Structure 1
Amino acid sequence: MTSSPTPENAGLLIISEEVCAQVVSRSDSFDAVEAVFGAMARGDAYNFPVIREAIGYADALYGFKSGFDRAGKALGVKSGGFWPGNMEKGLTNHQSTIFLFNPDTGQLQALVGGNYLTAVRTAASSSVSIAHLARKDARVLGMVGAGHQSTFQLRAAAEQRAFKKVVAWNPHPDMLPKLGAVAEELGLEFEAVSQEALGAQADVIITITSAFEPLMMADWIKPGTHIACMGTDTKGKMEVDKALFARATVFADEIAQSITIGEAQHAIADGLITEGDITPIGDVINGTHAGRSSDDEITLFDGTGVGLQDLAVASVAARVAEEKGLATRVAL
């Protein structure tokens, strides 16, 4: 939604979770996220500082991510967080709402359900990294984590390379069959394996957990692997061995977040890499960085999740929902 409201369409749009799932496809999300990463690298879009705090109740993390995309005219904020007890209540652990504002007037334009969009934009982020950094002949996809987000990740990744097999590990093995069912639906062989075996087989690895310790060690990763670390978005979280950063060529959605709350925070703190060793994925998208330089190179994408991703997909949801008459409009 990039145009200012006119008198005949003034008011507030409300786009429900159900409508978001109807109007934003994986392809839409990929295109929106890829475009905003490119805009960030050009300096046409920027994120504001993230607020993310433990609220001291229900073990919840709550915060705000916001920013402005001058190219896409998207201004807004996502408010929400992580409630680890929600699965027991039949709810997703991540809960959020996206607020879009008119960049010309500051008026609130839309309230957009953020749960589905968070899932598809996170999957789109790793998918964009696979599209631009994974070897063309990658055939085995490794999944570390089998929670709610993992099925979105698997579906999105499967569209970027001609994978034949999925190998997966989860700290709770009873959750793996759901991921296996999606793999089967996609026509892919599925095998539950140990973490070390996963590293030995996978050409592409996606980590999507809420871990605070390394789940994949550097020595387990074979040459030529592309790794998308998607679960670390808070100080202290950790999914892979920090020594891996010294072996890999490192990319990120946003460097500032990567070194403070992303997977790179630990390697930075220990001096294994410097901020200058991390390249924005947008530079590869824009053609100012070559990306992968050889078939033996290990590439690592640190996907911390930025507010501009949420605004990009929410803008698509608001625009398409309004065009199709699926949005609810209320007077301000």
Structure 2
Amino acid sequence: MIIVPEAACPALLSLEDAFEPVEQVFAAMARGDAENFPVVREALGGAEEALYGFKGGYDRAGETLGLKAGGYWPHNLERRNITNHQSTVYLFDPATGRPTAMIGGNYLTAARTAASSAVSIKHLARADSKVLGMIGAGHQAAFQLRAALRQRAFERVIGWNLHPEMLARLADVAKEAGLPFEEVDLDRLGQEADVIVSITSSFAPILKAAQVKPGTHIACMGTDTKGKQEVEAALLARATVFTDEVAQSVTIGEAQHAIAEGLITEAAINPIGAVINGTHPGRSSAEEITLFDGTGVGLQDLAVAAKVVELAKTAGKAIEVEV
């Protein structure tokens, strides 16, 4: 069995490396060649107030079987100076069931989440998009921004965050890319941005439907739990909606609210993999609003984990143990 420790993953897997595995597994899902297993998520209770769970799946096309185990420990940072999100990915041989790899999953989760929004920008944003808008400025936002900037010839970045002082993180990333950054209110962000990436943990809509101009592509990346919500449900009714997995979109993604309010139906939600495969045309006009509901699926984790194992072997960084 191969072990790739958490500390080794950032040096092995770049955001560019994560892009293709995520794109390919979305395509496999849409073809019916890969499936996610039901998610298990439990509250552990006690003083840690942790949430723990499993996301797994099987990609027949990529011959990848496994799961990600982990969750959220809200007091880790303050009590132990380690990140609150903790996860580990386990891969198995589909032919025998024997374990083949154990990989640290914290960095991989950030990389695959950024890759999924980047995939949506590649396939759905207008080719002439010039202004990138960011909603949210936490740790994951920097990954999102770096990945998004690779997909279009953006000329400037604008951003909004509930705590404006945190926007310095995004300003630094924009500066690395040689682009100007400006803090704006949500009205300006919605009217100026050609592409908007939202990455927050909000339980109330931040961006309103009336604030978004025609032709915008929005990647909603923060809603992955029942009750969370980043954008007004009416925005999904204005947009053509795409997602990583329809079943998750309607239960724990942005679409849960639009469905509950009767604004859209499940049939109106399209898998992004269908666009990648060419069975859905994607954007149909320069005026169309497109929205990607990125809920996060286990197959994304397995795809990037398999890639980092491959890179670790090539680089001579894989730790082999007998099982």
Which residue matches 2:191? 200
Match of 2:52 among 59, 62, 67: 62
1:93 CA drift (Å): 2.9
- SS of the equivalent of 1:105 reads coil
- SS of the equivalent of 2:218 reads strand
1:193 CA drift (Å): 1.3
Which residue matches 1:7? none
1:81 CA drift (Å): 1.4
Moved more, 242-251 or 322-331: 322-331
Gaps of 5+ in 2: none
Match of 1:176 among 167, 176, 183: 167
Which residue matches 2:65? 75
1:25 CA drift (Å): 1.7
Map 1:148-187 to 2 at 5 A.
148-187=139-178
Match of 1:263 among 254, 266, 270: 254
Which residue matches 1:5? none
Q: Among the aligned pairs, what percent are the same residue? A: 64
1:100–1:108 Cα contact (<8 Å) kept? yes
Q: Distance in 2 between matches of 1:59 and 1:168?
A: 32
Which residue matches 2:5? 16
CA distance 1:91–1:173, shift in 2 (3 Å)? farther
1:41 maps onto 2:30 in alignment: yes
1:94 CA drift (Å): 1.9
Letter in 2 for 1:33: V
Q: Distance in 2 between matches of 1:323 and 1:259?
A: 40
1:142-189: CA deviation from partner (whole Å, max 9, x where unpaired): 111111100000000000001111111111112111111111111111
Map 1:104-123 to 2 at 5 A.
104-123=95-114
Q: Distance in 2 between matches of 1:24 and 1:86?
A: 25
1:229–1:300 Cα contact (<8 Å) kept? yes
Q: Distance in 2 between matches of 1:59 and 1:180?
A: 33
- SS of the equivalent of 1:53 reads strand
Which residue matches 1:213? 204
1:101 CA drift (Å): 0.5
Q: Distance in 1 between matches of 2:88 and 2:107?
A: 10
1:304 CA drift (Å): 0.3
Letter in 2 for 1:18: A
1:126-147: CA deviation from partner (whole Å, max 9, x where unpaired): 0000000000111111111111
Q: Distance in 1 between matches of 2:322 and 2:119?
A: 38
1:44-86: CA deviation from partner (whole Å, max 9, x where unpaired): 0000011123332434322110000000000000011123334
Map 1:87-106 to 2 at 5 A.
87-88=77-78, 89-106=80-97
Letter in 2 for 1:92: T
Match of 1:237 among 228, 234, 239: 228
Q: Distance in 2 between matches of 1:197 and 1:16?
A: 43
1:93-143: CA deviation from partner (whole Å, max 9, x where unpaired): 321100001111101111100011000100000000000000011111111
1:249-284: CA deviation from partner (whole Å, max 9, x where unpaired): 000000001001111111111111111000000000
CA distance 1:296–1:87, shift in 2 (3 Å)? farther
- SS of the equivalent of 2:95 reads coil
1:52–1:234 Cα contact (<8 Å) kept? no
CA distance 1:24–1:140, shift in 2 (3 Å)? same
Letter in 1 for 2:43: A
CA distance 1:208–1:87, shift in 2 (3 Å)? farther
Moved more, 50-59 or 211-220: 50-59
Map 1:272-283 to 2 at 5 A.
272-283=263-274
Moved more, 62-71 or 92-101: 92-101
Q: Distance in 2 between matches of 1:216 and 1:60?
A: 29
Letter in 2 for 1:232: T
Which residue matches 1:8? none
1:18 CA drift (Å): 2.3
CA distance 1:201–1:87, shift in 2 (3 Å)? farther
Match of 1:310 among 301, 305, 320: 301
Letter in 2 for 1:30: F
Letter in 1 for 2:61: A
Letter in 1 for 2:152: R
- SS of the equivalent of 1:84 reads coil
Gaps of 5+ in 1: 1-11
CA distance 1:167–1:59, shift in 2 (3 Å)? farther
1:253 maps onto 2:247 in alignment: no
Moved more, 62-71 or 318-327: 318-327
